[in-house]
Structure 1
Amino acid sequence: MSSPRPAIEWLADAVLYQIYPQSFADSDGDGIGDFAGVEARLDHLEWLGVNTVWFNPCFASPFDDAGYDVADYLRVAPRYGTNEDLTRLTEAAGRRGIRVLLDLVAGHTSDQHPWFKASANDPADQRFIWADTDQAPEGFVASPGTRPGFYQPNFFESQPALNFGHARMDPAEPWRVPVDAEGPRANRQALRDIMDHWLGLGLSGFRVDMAASLVKDDPEHAETAKLWRELRGWLDRTHPGAALLSEWGDPQISVPAGFHADFFLQFGPRGDGLPLRSLWNNWEGTVSEPWEPLQPYFGATGEGTFSLFHDAWREATEIIGDAGFISLPTANHDFSRLSTGPRTAEQLPAAFAFQLTWPTLPAIYYGDEIGMRYVPGTPTREGSRLGPRYDRAGSRTPMQWDDSPNAGFSTAPAEDLYLPLDPDPDRPTVAAQRADEGSLLHLVRRLIALRKATPELGPKSSTEVLNEGYPLVYVRGGRFLVVVNPRAASAEATAPAGPAGAVEAAGVTVTDGVIRAEGFGYGIFDLGAR
């Protein structure tokens, strides 16, 4: 790896790849993925061309919420290996030009964390939010220790919220403390200590879980933003090459708050999650209950509206300027995969052609590069179920490497796997698609290589949208014409003047001033010197 560059510089070239570690590759046959398994598969990531990997939480945990309930921030969970195994993996990835980011759960711990066990027996401790009342305030949980009263969880009851203070005091809630109280100060210092520890071992940064949730009763997240700006300043001074990415879902707020990048997500502080949902969500899989139905732009019926995404992206981009980036994921551990419900394999190439040419940081969820699907009916595991129609397990099934037992994920008996495999006998695999140059995997690889080799396709190059309907037509960097038709029916649009040489195209032609796009067609064309 080259000498460290400021994160704001190297992120501009980043193609992120999210690994759910328990489902990626199992080296020891216990049915659960681990660091040695990931290390053995680094050749796949290098061949694919991704250069930044982020892991879901891999710290010691009772795994009530798949590792988002941390019992020790400075030690990895034994299921994945040791701290030394993670260091070795990071070094091996670095030799391939791949940076590694960890998931930092900043807002809460496990109820098994020593901090919480101590706090539950010490009425003076302020590390967590306690109400010394006779009855539980709404959402609070009874103390499990000798300390009387109730504590506030962030999510599940086993995830007590760390106390970063309240932005506003309230006489009706005398347990509130200001952001500069002893407990909040200790927790801010702990975040520095945790980041310093892992960055010192060669990690390249963090994706921060629930980054907007730290300070409570915080209008416009003003105090939370102040906290992160303070931490970003420390990070820039002590680890200037380290990146800080947020799970906030609102880049125009989170990037000015100190993050290098934020993901458009299926949720956000504004509650609608429109930027991502209006692209991909077809109301099958994980998120089908919380919101009113919305036809996605990348739907076969062609009933979606690109402007919902476009307007949100444009507004955020204008506010962010050169301060950071917006990241666009194909999916994640909380959200349905691209291949979900009625969306078929033939629809996926157009989605990747868009994702890898639009001016955002692309984040590929493991397995999406081969078209792994959300698997309905997957058994609930480690807190995956959040409601009758919201179970995330179907997006967390084992990586499909080949046609050997357990798809090459593990040598364990099938019944011992972390989650069962996709039972579809025609499920895609890496091996089969590596052998087929016409596969989705090869297309994704070529698109990544094109993006990395072409500054005009980067996140800060200009974007001119010529047609928002079907097909979607835009020009990057004044040079590359991109055409994407996500619907089943064909579509036409006016082409810009001048020649247009196909760089990567299927089902799209540009002739005589007309763009003709077959159903699910896509194309990238070089306009040359115009």
Structure 2
Amino acid sequence: MTDAALADRLDRIVLYQVYPQSFADADGDGVGDLDGLAARLDYLAWLGVDAVWLTPVFVSPFRDAGYDVADFDRVAARYGGDAAMDRLIAEADRRGIGIVLDLVAGHTSDEHEWFADALARGPAGDPDGDRYVFSPTAADGFAPVPRGDRGFYKPNFFEFQPALNFGYARLHPDEPWRQTVDAKGPRRNRDALVDIMRRWYDRGVAGFRVDMAASLVEDDPGHRETARLWRDIRRRLDRTHPGRILVSEWGDPARAVPAGFDVDFFLQFGGDSDGLPLKSLFENGSGTVHEAWPRRDAWADAAGKGDAADFVVAWTEARDAIAAAGSRGVVGLPTANHDFTRLVSGSRDAQQARSALLLVLTWAAMPSLYYGDEIGMRYLPGVGPLEGSSLGPTYERAGSRTPMAWGASTVLGQRAHDARYLPADDAPDAPTVAGQLDDPASLLRFVRAAVALRRSDPRLGARASLEVESTGYPFVYRRGGTLLVALNPADRPCEVALGGVGDPVIATGARVMGERLLLDAFGAAVVDLAPRAAAASIPA
């Protein structure tokens, strides 16, 4: 894949997230690995994805499932080591698929050699600049060092994840350990971050998704210094490796994209409304007690009591902020990810989730499919905890990290074992790839058709025009002026006045009657109001 391939297609990219230890297992040890993923690339190419984002695969003690990195330059043995990564990149490149790595920028594992070296330095610190934030006395949010006489250190997430020192936006006389963002230690870490990314780009990686991207500069109102830091990093990377994509976990596209990222996703947190745009759409904990989100009526619930208006307002504000900043970046919209529950959870089944999936794939944003959502894999309550998956008594992430449900060892001619990192969904009606691959009415075929339409029709590009007609039931909007999308996740039928004649391009529980679109309960459709003589070919 050429350096600029993904960046040139930013408007049309469909991203696919893989949790490697749960995706596919080549060596049969029960833990998914990179050779297992390579053996399933034909499936991903068949599905139509452009890039695969891997959660961290670096050397780690795995107390936070790899987000506690002990070596940024080496792939963990459980995934097959560095050679397996080289094979994966080569095989993905042959299929035109980019590999996007997960970069933990704000902290390391407490087993990283940088932390060991910092503790060994003693109270005087490192003359080249401290990589971590230390205080000689107890301070709010700090933890005692496990050994040595450095006093206390600041964690970034779990206590075993010491925060890297990128400085403070504001100094304080009562906290003399605070350093400016341009002090030796912060500059040293910024340089190290750039060097790490360049080394992986040299190996063929197409981009990075940056974990907790807003967490680097401490006490930073409005994230102004953090944004300045990322713009500086982006400029330096573009000078040597233009065309790579940079995706942030910020949860606030209006701030993150102008800060130098190509994409930032609406998430279950972030922004002034703390994740309300995504929660108001899906609130994937609906009907269960396994998620930290407060209960609310979500648009995607069958009861039909929600509204997509909050999402539309936030997306509009983000789009306008990105345009005002002169950025060519885009908003991102995920089906789910490894940190929050899947679309199919609680009382919501796969049929009800079709509207939500079609929304993600037709909205003016970069879509991200979480592995297994294309077949309706379910969140499994009662699974875990494992490797830091639990964030509290009602926030268990393991249920979203269960093994990819292949249903057969050979799929599209490629063979790999199922991963058994976590228990699988063993219910008689559990969805599988094998069970849906040849079924034209399956969710998998529906999603594949939507991906193909997304990639082939410029009216569905992330930067193409979007006009919202209604935000309830149905949720109706037009793309590119003449492509109408109508979504009804509720358990009652409804209809849409088309204002003319049109041809359904994709439909489930929907039919056109003259100038009306009739939607059954859980129906959804994309209708072309300007039929073309040579319509895009949608795979069966």
**TM-score of the aligned structures, taking structure 1 as reference length:** 0.95
- Quick one: structure 1 residues 481 and 52, their matched pair in 2 at CA, closer, same or farther if it must change by over 3 Å? same
Matches within 5 A, 1:250-329: 250-270=252-272, 272-284=274-286, 290-321=292-323, 322-329=327-334
Deviation at 1:271, TM superposition (A): 5.2
Q: Which amino acid aligns with 2:513?
A: T
Q: State the partner residue of 1:94.
A: 93
Matches within 5 A, 1:7-406: 8-122=7-121, 123=123, 124-125=125-126, 126-133=130-137, 136-270=138-272, 272-284=274-286, 290-321=292-323, 322-402=327-407
Q: Is the 8 A contact 2:6 2:13 kept in 1?
A: no
For 1:300 and 1:215, the matched residues in 2 are separated by: 42
Q: State the partner residue of 1:432.
A: 435
For 1:216 and 1:449, the matched residues in 2 are separated by: 43
For 1:34 and 1:100, the matched residues in 2 are separated by: 14
Three-state SS of the structure 2 residue aligned to 1:328 is: strand
Moved runs in structure 1, 4+ residues, more than 6 A?
none
Deviation at 1:485, TM superposition (A): 0.6
For 1:215 and 1:474, the matched residues in 2 are separated by: 39
Deviation at 1:425, TM superposition (A): 2.0
- Quick one: structure 1 residues 240 and 301, their matched pair in 2 at CA, closer, same or farther if it must change by over 3 Å? same
1:466 and 2:469 matched: yes
Q: Is the 8 A contact 1:7 1:240 kept in 2?
A: no
Deviation at 1:370, TM superposition (A): 0.5
Deviation at 1:292, TM superposition (A): 3.0
For 1:261 and 1:15, the matched residues in 2 are separated by: 12
Q: Deviations over 1:263-306 (max 9, x none)?
A: 11000143520111111114349985544321110110000111
- Quick one: structure 1 residues 377 and 361, their matched pair in 2 at CA, closer, same or farther if it must change by over 3 Å? same
Q: State the partner residue of 2:456.
A: 453
CA RMSD of the aligned region, Å?
A: 1.8
For 1:367 and 1:6, the matched residues in 2 are separated by: 26
Q: Deviations over 1:349-385 (max 9, x none)?
A: 2222221111111100001111000001002100000
- Quick one: structure 1 residues 395 and 72, their matched pair in 2 at CA, closer, same or farther if it must change by over 3 Å? same
Runs (5+) with no aligned partner, structure 1: none
Deviation at 1:319, TM superposition (A): 1.0
For 1:259 and 1:411, the matched residues in 2 are separated by: 35
For 2:16 and 2:503, the matched residues in 1 are separated by: 30
Three-state SS of the structure 2 residue aligned to 1:386 is: coil
Q: Which amino acid aligns with 2:41?
A: L
Q: Deviations over 1:112-160 (max 9, x none)?
A: 0000011112131311000011xx2122111122123100101111100
Q: Is the 8 A contact 1:282 1:299 kept in 2?
A: no
For 2:391 and 2:285, the matched residues in 1 are separated by: 16
Three-state SS of the structure 2 residue aligned to 1:522 is: strand
Comparing 349-358 with 370-379, greater Cα deviation is found at 349-358
For 2:293 and 2:242, the matched residues in 1 are separated by: 40
Q: Deviations over 1:77-98 (max 9, x none)?
A: 1100121210110110011010
For 1:173 and 1:411, the matched residues in 2 are separated by: 51
Q: Which amino acid aligns with 1:528?
A: A
For 1:32 and 1:420, the matched residues in 2 are separated by: 12
Q: State the partner residue of 1:420.
A: 423
Q: Deviations over 1:158-203 (max 9, x none)?
A: 1000000001110111111111111111100110110011000000
- Aligned length in residues: 520
For 1:282 and 1:198, the matched residues in 2 are separated by: 34
Comparing 53-62 with 267-276, greater Cα deviation is found at 267-276
Q: Is the 8 A contact 1:93 1:100 kept in 2?
A: yes
